[in-house]
Amino acid sequence: MKKMLLASLIVSVISAAPMGGTEQALEADMVLYNGKIFTVEKSMPWAEAVAVRDGKFIAVGSAVDVKKLIGKNTQTIDLQGKLVLPGFNDAHLHFCSGGLYLLGIDLRPARNEKDFLSIIKEYIKKLPKGEWVTGGNWDHENWPSKKHPSKDLIDAITPDHPVLVSRLDGHMALANSLALKLAGITRATVNPQGGEIVKDKKTGEPSGILRDNACDLVDAVIPALSRARREQAIRTALRHARELGVTSIQDNSSSEDLEIYQELLAKGDLTVRINAWRSDDCIADFSRIGLKAAFGGPFLRLGTIKIFSDGSMGAGTALFFEPYADDPSTCGLPIHKEDELNALVLAADKAGLQIATHAIGDQANAWILNALAKARLENGTRDSRHRVEHSQVVRPEDVLRFRDLAVIASIQPCHCIDDMRWAEKRIGSRVNDAYRFASFLKAGVHLAFGTDWPVEPLDPRLGLYAAVTRELPAGGPVGGWHADEKLSMAEAIEHYTLGSAYAEFQEKEKGSIVAGKWADLVIMEKNLFEIPQKDILNTAVSMTILAGKIIYKKL
């Protein structure tokens, strides 16, 4: 082991030193030592110390050897035995929305209709008359009734405030009567493609529940978020990410978000590396100017196009081959017709862009794989690294097609331990094909882990816990739900770091602790490999380092 560490150190220093380098040239800006450093590198998974210069690792190895790079200006950090990991890379989230969630109404704690009503009532006391109530993240599956809320539940307390509050998956929302009126939604309004206006079966009147693209009808009349509020949300999200050791994100971004990211970068205030995805209406523009996948610099990149194939299981809009077990009247809801999906995929692939397609149900996953196969035949094979976001319910034969088409499964492990409370009720035996972690890995499919924040908390510890236990945070089912899909802690961390970096063409720049890569690190108070699994969730982040600079330190 000692020889391995020393050999690695020698190679690291030689590769990092300039020609004609002197002893001063090898002086590190920062040295971290006396710790347990999980590098995620198969050739040398563990080290005792690392040295950083100009924002990148220059040496990884034993404490004795790395400390030789300490000079008079070197910042030294005694890890005192703490665990060091590469900075977490959240491969799928909604960053500005997450910041707004932290700033706005939070309906996630509601455990019944009474709680739901009470939270809204208290929230609107602080609002000027006429101001919209948005955000939410409610989950009726946590309620004893398991029933969707309706406009009748909230109309009496919101006569002066239009309301559109989303279910936590973002594929269903509740609007009050005032919001429906402002949007012009009546019993005569026709469902849009890829959406549903839920109506009372007796009266035909809108119930207030809107699914997927039907939410856009109300969104269209909500006043635009102010520039100041959007920046406040993003800055709030940046602080939250620092505190959790998240140093890279792959974000469902708007043009307004992108503008703010650029300004923060210019000011030196952007404390996370961002792969900013754009929606499928940007395909033509990107193609016209020649912008392709993985365009940009170390802190801000473009070139990934987000496409929706279906909705969510929680909203009953994920697309399946067979009807829902608890609602045989529906198989879900395609966001695009199959030929439209094929055309979008073909155009994005032809333009040299990376495609990230939301797919939950087994039919939605099959459709996108079909579309990617057609695009490959038409446009030829390249290192496209197309991805399927969520990849939640995938038939065994399609797992193999992920591998054969070199498609990345971008998964949020925390969805598993949230959805498992009701998934079997919703889709029956198809849960055997759901939330595959180990199956994908064994088949040779690349995995990337994230959270879908604010659908789930941004906290990477919850995702790691979910991947290695497949149990509720409070514990159970004993041994884990479909335990054969559990991962080891090393595997879970790898897919939250190096796997996510690979998913954005950045595995040579970050994602593991090796000389030449960016020095993005998170220091954990306890060793996640050694503590009881229940303690993963409350193990604090001690420090977060980005490009060799401390951006968060626990007080």
In this structure, the answer to whether residues 313 and 342 fall within a common structural domain is: yes
Residue 346 lies in a domain: yes
pLDDT tens, residue order, the chain (555 aa):
344 444 444 344 434 443 334 444 589 999 999 999 999 999 999 999 999 999 999 999 999 999 999 999 999 999 999 999 999 999 999 999 999 999 989 999 999 999 999 999 999 998 999 999 998 999 999 999 999 999 999 999 999 999 999 999 989 999 999 999 999 999 999 999 999 999 999 999 999 999 999 999 999 999 999 999 999 999 999 999 999 999 999 999 999 999 999 999 999 999 999 999 999 999 999 999 999 999 999 999 999 999 999 999 999 999 999 999 999 999 999 999 999 999 999 999 999 999 999 999 999 999 999 999 999 999 999 999 999 999 999 999 999 999 999 999 999 999 999 999 999 999 999 999 999 999 999 999 999 999 999 999 999 999 999 999 999 999 999 999 999 999 999 999 999 999 999 999 999 999 999 999 999 999 999 999 999 999 999 999 999 999 999 999 998
For residues 461 and 468, the answer to whether their CB atoms sit within 8 Å is no
Domain-located, residue 57:
no
CA angle 496, 87, 484 (to 5 degrees): 20
pLDDT of residue 467: 98
- Residues spanned by the domain of 179: 96-219
Q: Are residues 170 and 243 in the same domain?
A: no
- Same structural domain for residues 191 and 326? no
Q: Which of 161, 188, 219 is the C-terminal boundary of a domain? A: 219
Length of the chain: 555
If asked whether residues 328 and 235 sit together in one domain, one would say yes
Which pLDDT value is given to residue 26?
Answer: 84
- Mark 378-403 as b/e (b = at least 16 C-beta within 10 Å): ebeeeebbbbbbbbbbbbeebbebbe
Q: Is residue 59 part of a domain?
A: no
pLDDT, residue 555, reads: 84
Residue 252 amino acid letter: N
Segments of 233-317 assigned E as strands: 246-252, 273-279, 295-296, 300-302, 304-308
Residue 460 burial class via C-beta count within 10 angstroms: exposed 0-12, middle 13-18, buried 19 and up: buried
Q: Is 377 exposed, middle or buried (0-12, 13-18, 19+ CB in 10 A)?
A: exposed
Both 475 and 387 in a single domain? yes
Do 211 and 266 share a domain, yes or no? no
335 and 407 part of one domain: yes
Q: Which residues contact 12 (CB under 8 A, 6 or more apart)?
A: 51, 57, 58, 59, 60, 61, 514, 515
Query: Of the residues 219, 250, 267, which one is the last residue of a structural domain?
Result: 219
Q: Would 245 be classed as within a structural domain?
A: yes
Residue 368 domain-assigned (yes or no): yes
The enclosing domain of 160 has a CATH number of 3.10.310.70
- pLDDT value, residue 25: 57
Report yes or no on 398 lying in a domain: yes
Q: Do residues 276 and 210 share a domain?
A: no
**Alpha-carbon distances, residue 438 vs 60, 445, 470, 539, 551 (angstroms):** 30, 10, 12, 25, 34
pLDDT digits (tens, 9 = 90+) for 121-156: 999 998 999 999 998 999 999 999 999 999 999 999
Distance in angstroms between the alpha carbons of the first and the last residue of the chain: 35
Q: How much is the pLDDT for 104?
A: 86
Domain presence at residue 46 = no
Boundary-marking domain end, from 219, 251, 269? 219
CATH code (residue 477): 3.20.20.140
Count of structural domains within the chain: 2
The answer on 354 and 321 residing in a single domain is yes
Mapped onto helix, strand or coil, the DSSP state of residue 474 is coil
For residues 203 and 234, state if they share a domain. no
Same domain? 449 vs 497: yes
Residue 243 covered by a domain: yes
Residues 179 and 277 in one domain: no
